[in-house]
Structure 1
């Protein structure tokens, strides 16, 4: 069937369907357990806050050295978060989550048994390795939960960092005030152990993997760059912001991170895919995350100090450590309560609106804080309002990230996003610390932060939220591709890989009519899916429905997006995470597998699969119909249950190998840009490798330029591509150069329509059995005829 390339007008879709592989049934406590893991990690990070002023005495050292107890956790967490996310994508997210929680337990026990500074810093650094648990939890949710439950679950998991901090602070203060301070770390170890037991009992291992080699050079480079960046941010106040050490580390971080980026761009399987990270939606979300992290942590620094200052200062509220923690706790409660609401906002209006709304609430809260700091009730109102704003903003971030990256990269992508929040929090600590340290009043010979310092801190945090709002305004808006309302399958008539005859086309039209009838009778898709799914029937010889046929959905890079099995009537339905080109694979024992390339927008796509006789093959080469090697072709092997068992990329000679596959039956699918996919079934017996040599038929493309009077290129002209049935299968909005293009066309006859002035129509034929490489169609649009 004809396909068009993703155009400038198609953006990643709403958070309502950030989904992933078709979910399995998970226990009712699945979300609660993962959120508990995030809260446990957050409690670990903040449990030393009540001890900050006493640490020099407890560890028999100076205040400057004692600050390493906090700095070590921050630095270790910054390095571990993206690394663990990548390891989770490669080796299993549940497995790496267990590693993170184990580090939490080990680090906590190390701190619990010592009063030595060096050992304490080592233990806190080990604890910092647990920070990767939050992005790993979000990625597991994407893999396992149905779309209608995913939004609220991700919102809760994303907010767990703030929830644990706000709730853990008063608990830690109470323990520190009434018992031995080592009990704090024993408690953290106990919480971590409980989290491990719950994960073992409730959380399944995700089947979504990205088989590749770990990028050790990338990990070392990123670690070095982050250390050189975060060290001067956190220690600059002690070393002096203009000191040679501070400036030298900042300069070194720039050099290291630039070199690291250049190396990552040339690495086959990088730790962080910078090309994906540079996508507009991912890049802007990460920048906004820095601002949200800055704003969130500023309140955690300002309010406790304001509450605990003596009333005799004229502006302090004279509260104890425990009461100060309790008055800030509503922030965490608000973040927890607002999670379902934020998920609904994501589903109804999109994560961009949710992020902007959260930042508006944050900015308004800090603005109000400049005049609301005279009474305890005002502090409670501020902390609650900030919890609402941060909860809404935090829930939008993972949705924006996972809707713009492949399923196999969600762990690393969310890890990087969590890192951005940590950078914002570190910067907030440094900036607010400098402001409060330099705007002081002498009280009993002791310099204390004055009213002007608190108001300035509120104003700076408000400015950070406003900056985040301006960044969020630049995020792509939700866009619904214009598809004829009655033709959800306009871009996806069922096509046989081997031959697309009239009988198949006619059957596809009948199936489409049936699907429309079902839609009129009642909704087929839950509302949060916004219609983005592929459904149809799996038929064998004689159009007999096939039961339990494996259906697998992959992206053009070979990453699994979803899987399911056909029912008693041969019907299947699989959710699609994002709009764009996907490859649908159907296989069943004793039948030849099928693969079809589909363009999925916001409407349901109907695709019937007809499976015929069986076939053989494995390893081998991918070539064009002219015998040229297809370097970079993606080869994917799926098992009988539809799970991706292995993937590989063809080398410069088109050769590929899928090693370490257990004996059994597999469906091998080959896909390459600009070519039709090829699928075949393979039986491995444990003997010599079986070879598959496949020729991929080329797809065609139509391209051209829209010009106005005098030959001037026209911007914002709408160009539509219609198939032989008159259905719209692609649209393009021209840029400044007036150019347009439609890729991956496998049909024969099309019509190109250019509008903007008086519309112009051109029929185009791109070839039959051997489609031509390209057809150029230029338009000249003028007023009138």
Structure 2
């Protein structure tokens, strides 16, 4: 009885979740455009400084599903606060770092905060009225993409006005405030999953992720045919098979393989992989394209700040779409949004590939991609949440977010390899490298739209009530995954 009043104010819970997720999203991308500055400040070289990104990526990939599982077991609020604490601690260490090893350790600690996204989804599903779940999840999902875009935009002004250390002081302040607010204002989840962490499967999961992401992140430097890359890829394949077998046989799996076979889940995960390829590779390489001197035959000679502003339409469009994602899902269905959003994203990258001679082209293409990503990421999260039992929300959405990160790593590695083909003796890429690279990202969007066709749709039976397919076990969330059907009454 005493906790009832606090659970009625779901708007306050949403505000706290938004701040925490926004801080995590910013940390994903703030460092990307200013790596050359960090390289000089820490006295290292271009090869070594990439570990500032790789360490964060590896840590987040490993921690995200584990944190989601811990939240399902011990309480989503509790683990959400711990994740924010890790973000704050890592940000503090990074802000004070004066050497590369300390910065890398700081980024590993920050990566533990990757659990904020699946935990936020789980808290929303536990605390919000059913009719408001789609819109809230859509906004949080869109916020990840918006935050990544905003990080690219804000990095330049922050470094120019305050110095690169403030790339970490600002997130430290935000995460600290969000952590205190979460501790005080968010009610603890009443839903628990019995069991314990299976540390063997957690180790195997970590091992194949490390091997895979290390291979693809270093392949542009070591060479795709090098013994080290091939050895890591073979090791990743062997360990992933061992991990799947161990999870399937475990009475207490970290990732429920039965859950992963649900059509809505595996289709959404495939979309996450492909769209992760497009988003992270696009955000990572478009600033380099814009900053290239016009003497190279392309580019605009933009500064870090100017290139960030040219990406601003992407973040604005994603946020605007996120505001209406719940209504769009109810009206058209999340499956349809995924198909259309993927195709819109593909179109924006094909535009960048073949139409990039003026700044107007860049602004327009970025606005279009923002619309596509906003539709896809909000709808994809809704499908995952609607496809699994409530007690598996954290681990399912965590794995989806994790697969998006893996896709981003793959996309960045492939993009680096494609762009480098035919580079001049000075190391400056030729225009055809970027053209082929952006076309590759467009093809990934087309494949994502095909994957979206496999997501189950809702149907209405002769007795005029909604029923789901065998792969969607929650008819009360029909409006989330399939949309409100004609003649059916929604909440």
Asked whether the 8 Å contact 1:77–1:131 carries over to 2, the reply is yes
Alignment partner of 2:51 out of 68, 77, 96: 68
Q: 2:478 & 2:299 partners in 1: Cα distance? A: 51
Residue matched to 1:484: 463
Q: Give 1:603 deviation, angstroms.
A: 8.2
**C-alpha separation between the residues in 2 aligned to 1:577 and 1:378?**
40
Kindly state the Cα deviation for residue 440 of structure 1 after the two structures are TM-superposed: 2.4
Query: Which residue, 476, 486, 491 being the options, matches 1:576?
Result: 476
Q: Which of 415, 438, 456 is residue 458 of structure 1 equivalent to?
A: 438
- Match of residue 422 from structure 2: 439
Quote the residue 1:56 is aligned against. 39
In structure 2, do the counterparts of structure 1 residues 578 and 265 end up closer, same or farther at CA, with 3 Å as the change threshold?
farther
Residues 440 and 447 in structure 1, CA contact (< 8 A), matched pair in contact too: yes
* Aligned residue-pair number: 473
Aligned-pair CA distance for 1:287: 0.8
Please point out which of 182, 187, 191 is paired with 2:165: 182
How far did 1:423 drift? 0.9
Q: What is the distance in 1 between the residues matched to 2:300 and 2:211?
A: 39
- 1:567-624 deviations in whole A, cap 9, x for unaligned? xxxxxxxx93469xxxxxxxxxxxxxxxxxxxxxx989xxxxxxxxxxxxxxxxxxxx
The aligned residue for residue 475 of structure 1 is 455
Say whether the 8 Å CA contact 2:10–2:128 is kept in structure 1: no
Contact 2:52/2:103 (8 A) holds in 1: yes
The 8 Å contact of residues 27 and 202 in structure 1, kept in 2 or not, is answered as: no
Of the three residues 208, 212, 216, the one matched with 1:233 is 216
Judge which range, 84-93 or 328-337, deviates more.
328-337
What does the per-residue CA deviation read over 1:321-373, in whole Å, with 9 as the maximum and x for residues that have no partner? 11111111221111111013332221123211111111011011112222321
Following TM superposition, by how much is the alpha carbon of 1:182 offset from its aligned partner in structure 2, in angstroms? Answer: 1.6
Structure 1 distance, partners of 2:328, 2:477, is 18
How far is the alpha carbon of 1:223 from its aligned partner? 0.7
Instruction: Output one character per residue of 1:427-479: Cα deviation in whole Å (capped at 9) or x when no partner.
Output: 1110111112223245xxx3212221111111100110111111111222222
Structure (1/2) with the larger helix percentage: 2
Runs of at least 5 residues in structure 2 that lack an aligned partner in the other structure: 1-5, 480-486
Shift of 1:211: 2.0
Q: Among residues 254, 257, 274, which one is paired with 1:291 in the alignment? A: 274
Q: TM-score, normalised to structure 1's length? A: 0.58
Return the alpha-carbon distance in structure 1 between the equivalents of residues 434 and 258 of structure 2: 41
User: Which residue in 2 is equivalent to 1:771?
Assistant: none
Name the structure 1 match of 2:329.
346
Give, in angstroms, the shift of residue 39 of structure 1: 1.4
Structure showing the higher strand proportion among its residues: 1
When Rg is computed on C-alpha atoms for both structures, the one with the higher figure is 1
User: Is the Cα contact below 8 Å between 1:218 and 1:264 reproduced in 2?
Assistant: yes
Which residue of the partner structure matches residue 105 of structure 1?
Answer: 88
Highest relative contact order (Cα 8 Å, sep 6+), 1 or 2? Answer: 2
CA distance in 2, matches of 1:337, 1:138: 20
Is the CA contact (8 Å cut-off) linking 1:261 and 1:274 kept in structure 2? yes
Q: CA deviation at 1:24?
A: 4.0
Q: How does 1:36-435 map to 2 (within 5 A)?
A: 36-435=19-418
Given that 2:459 and 2:467 are in contact with CA atoms closer than 8 Å, whether structure 1 keeps it comes out as no
Matches of 2:433 and 2:275 in 1, distance apart? Answer: 21
Task: Decide whether the 8 Å contact of 2:19 with 2:174 is kept in 1.
Answer: no
Shift in alpha-carbon separation, 1:308–1:278, aligned structure 2, 3 A: same
Work out whether residues 100 and 130 of structure 1, in 8 Å CA contact, stay in contact via their aligned partners in 2: yes
Q: CA deviation at 1:256?
A: 1.0
CA separation in 1, counterparts of 2:332 and 2:95? 47
Answer yes or no: is the 8 Å Cα contact 1:331–1:387 preserved in 2.
yes
Partner of residue 503, structure 1: none
Offset at 1:55? Answer: 3.1
Query: How many angstroms does 1:385 deviate by?
Result: 0.9
2:354 is paired with a residue of what secondary structure? coil
Measured in 2, the distance between the counterparts of 1:274 and 1:229 equals 20
Q: Secondary structure at the match of 2:43?
A: coil
Instruction: Quote the RMSD (CA, aligned, Å).
Output: 2.1
How far residue 105 of structure 1 moved from its aligned partner, in angstroms, is: 0.6
TM-superposed deviation, 1:109: 0.9
Q: Give me the whole-angstrom Cα distance separating, in 2, the residues matched to 1:578 and 1:346.
A: 10
Partner of 1:500: none
Deviation, structure 1 residue 531: 9.3
Question: Normalization by structure 2: what TM-score?
Answer: 0.92
Q: Deviations over 1:233-277 (max 9, x none)?
A: 111112221111111111111111111111111111210001110
Tell me the secondary structure at the aligned position of residue 448 of structure 1: coil
Q: Within 2, Cα distance between the matches of 1:117 and 1:168?
A: 22
1:27 and 1:138 map into 2 onto residues whose CA distance is: 13
Q: Give secondary structure in 2 for the equivalent of 1:75.
A: helix
Structure 2 residue aligned with 1:768: none
Q: 2:3 maps to what in 1?
A: none
In 2, distance between residues paired with 1:176 and 1:290?
32
CA contact (8 A) 2:344 2:369 kept: yes
CA contact (8 A) 1:531 1:603 kept: no
Q: CA 1:331 to 1:198, structure 2 compared with 1: closer, same or farther past 3 Å?
A: farther
State whether residues 210 and 408 of structure 1, in contact with CA within 8 Å, keep that contact through their aligned partners in structure 2.
yes
Residue correspondence of structure 1 range 629-708 to structure 2 within 5 A = none
Displacement after TM superposition at 1:27 (Å): 4.2
For 1:367 and 1:136, the matched residues in 2 are separated by: 35
